[in-house]
């Protein structure tokens, strides 16, 4: 993966963290924040997105497949060339605020995983490792998906080197 996120644990020395910084290729993020709080930026963003995606599915707003299309065709593409915060600046922070004012009341504020996720787990539907989860994994393995992801990332990295 192109992103390396370094999060200093309670017992991680500065020397170890610096050694990791030196051997990780950019882009690398370095988690900093209040002690005792989760600082992994990507994981926090990923799970905020997952919380909302589960909420959307549970409310019947969109299907799992619809959400995959929206994420893969939306932010995954749009923010690569512009960066997330530049995109907000380009849209206009007044427009971001207007959208937030309209949309925030509809967003999930759940403090626990959704019921249907708990039900899947209780049935033993844990995803690729059991053959069923949100998707049916009996026809395509996680290794197939990871290999396709790795080919995609490698191609993007090769393409990025040619961009001036």
Residue 119 placed within a domain: no
The verdict on 34 and 60 lying in the same domain is no
How many structural domains compose the chain? 3
Report the largest interatomic distance among the alpha carbons of the chain, rounded to a whole angstrom.
51
| CATH number of domain containing 99 | 1.10.1040.10
The verdict on 13 and 60 lying in the same domain is no
Confirm whether pTM is higher than 0.85: no
- How many of the other CB atoms lie within 10 Å of CB of 63? 11
The verdict on 84 and 45 lying in the same domain is yes
Report pLDDT digits (tens) over 93-123.
999 999 999 999 999 999 999 999 999 999 9
- Which residue would you say has higher pLDDT here, 124 or 85? 124
- C-alpha span between 154 and 163 (Å, rounded): 15
Nearest 10 degrees: Cα torsion 65, 68, 73, 75:
150
The verdict on 48 and 27 lying in the same domain is no
Strand 4-7 versus strand 28-31 pairing type? parallel
- C-alpha span between 39 and 36 (Å, rounded): 9
Q: Which domain holds residue 65?
A: 40-111
The verdict on 47 and 77 lying in the same domain is yes
Q: At what angle do helices 64-73 and 75-82 cross, to 10 degrees?
A: 10
The verdict on 144 and 162 lying in the same domain is yes
Question: What number is the average pLDDT over the span 114-142?
Answer: 94
**Residue 164 pLDDT > 60, yes or no?**
no
Residue-level pLDDT at 94: 94
Residue 118 placed within a domain: no
**Residue 36 pLDDT > 60, yes or no?**
no
Residue 100 placed within a domain: yes
Residue-level pLDDT at 14: 85
- Which residue would you say has higher pLDDT here, 9 or 108? 108
Phi/psi at 6 (5° precision): -100, 120
């Amino acid at each position: 993966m192109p992103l390396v996120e370094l999060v200093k644990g309670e017992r991680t020395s500065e020397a170890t963290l610096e050694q990791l910084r030196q051997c990780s290729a950019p882009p690398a993020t370095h988690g900093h924040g209040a002690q005792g709080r989760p600082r992994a930026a990507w994981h926090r963003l990923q799970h905020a997105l997952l919380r909302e995606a589960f909420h959307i599915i549970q409310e019947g707003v969109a299907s799992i497949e619809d959400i995959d299309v929206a994420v893969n065709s939306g932010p995954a593409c749009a923010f690569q060339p512009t960066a997330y915060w530049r995109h907000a600046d380009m849209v206009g922070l007044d427009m971001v605020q207007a959208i937030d004012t309209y949309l925030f009341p509809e967003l999930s504020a759940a403090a626990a995983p959704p019921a249907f996720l708990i039900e899947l787990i209780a049935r033993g539907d844990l995803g690729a490792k059991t053959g069923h989860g949100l998707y049916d994994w009996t026809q395509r393995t996680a290794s197939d998906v990871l290999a396709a992801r790795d080919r995609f990332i490698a191609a993007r990295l090769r393409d990025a080197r040619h961009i001036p």
